[in-house]
Amino acid sequence: GAVVSQHPSRVICKSGTSVKIECRSLDFQATTMFWYRQFPKQSLMLMATSNEGSKATYEQGVEKDKFLINHASLTLSTLTVTSAHPEDSSFYICSASGTGNRPGNTIYFGEGSWLTVV
Amino acid sequence: GDSVTQMEGPVTLSEEAFLTINCTYTATGYPSLFWYVQYPGEGLQLLLKATKADDKGSNKGFEATYRKETTSFHLEKGSVQVSDSAVYFCALGAYNQGGKLIFGQGTELSVKP
């Protein structure tokens, strides 16, 4: 079964509202999680690295005030798209680098979340 | 900086044909290399990986060999099936960066019966 779960898998929101996407590691503690964005028929672009208990590290060009990342526990990271606009519509995927009973050098991906802003 | 380049798609093959999807990389140090597969409307699934030079990753009939001398990690399968139709991503990961991956642009494979 999935070891990293994302929720919701699909969400539609109105322009100007905020939407939160959750990424959970189901049976291991994820000290680090990563958030990627994928436009249709394109590759995945890393948005930010989320470290438990500290601020996220954003890639160049990613607006940290627009894409809020919180990694408050070892099993949960959240991505909040604030004041969403249609151009934020995309497929967002998280991944987790495990510790504990999962090898630290194995990376697990969530199922992804489709965001549509109307 | 580190980068991954894949052959452009779409690649269209008949069932049972031989598949090669080229992937080359640029990296400092000694990265690990991955192939991920994405079926329509779904997330990513790890297909195979190799962590050091000359390693061969294999899974579900797919193979790729980590070639340091040519900085390549080409994906091959001897006989493709319709169910292999998907987008394939080559990726590079440096574990001193804690699991951050750099992806190639993806190659769409379409297998016709």
Which residues fall within 8 angstroms of residue A98, CB to CB, at 6 or more apart?
Answer: A3, A25, A28, A29, A30, A104, A106, A108
**What amino acid occupies position B104?**
G
Distance CA B95, CA B88 (A): 22
Report CB contact under 8 Å: A43, B89: yes
Report CB contact under 8 Å: A32, B98: yes
What are residue B57's DSSP bridge partners?
B64
Which residues fall within 8 angstroms of residue B100, CB to CB, at 6 or more apart?
Answer: A34, A46, A49, B93, B94
Q: How far apart are the first and last CA of chain B?
A: 41
Report CB contact under 8 Å: B32, A105: yes
Question: Is residue B80 within 8 Å of B16, Cβ to Cβ?
Answer: yes
Report CB contact under 8 Å: B36, A109: yes
Q: Among A57-61, B65-69, B91-95, which stretch is predicted with the lowest mean pLDDT?
A: B91-95
What is the mean pLDDT for each group of 10 consecutive residues in chain A (118 residues)? Answer: 85 97 90 89 89 90 95 92 96 81 68 93
Nearest residue on chain B to A112, judged by CA atoms?
B43
* Cis ω for the linkage preceding A8 (within 30 of 0): yes
DSSP label at residue A88: G
pLDDT more than 90, % of chain B: 71
* pLDDT given for residue A30 in this prediction: 85
Q: What is the pLDDT of residues B3-51, one digit of tens each?
A: 999 988 899 999 999 999 999 999 887 888 999 999 987 888 889 999 8
Expressed in percent and rounded to 5, the helix, strand and coil fractions of chain A are 5, 55, 45
Report CB contact under 8 Å: A43, B106: yes
| Six token digits for residue B89 | 């991503």
- List CB contacts (< 8 A) between B95 and chain A: 105
* pLDDT given for residue A105 in this prediction: 63
pLDDT at B110 over 70: yes
- List CB contacts (< 8 A) between A32 and chain B: 98-99
Q: Nearest CA to CA, how far is B3 from chain A (Å)?
A: 12
pLDDT at B99 over 90: no
Q: Nearest CA to CA, how far is B79 from chain A (Å)?
A: 25
* pLDDT given for residue B112 in this prediction: 96
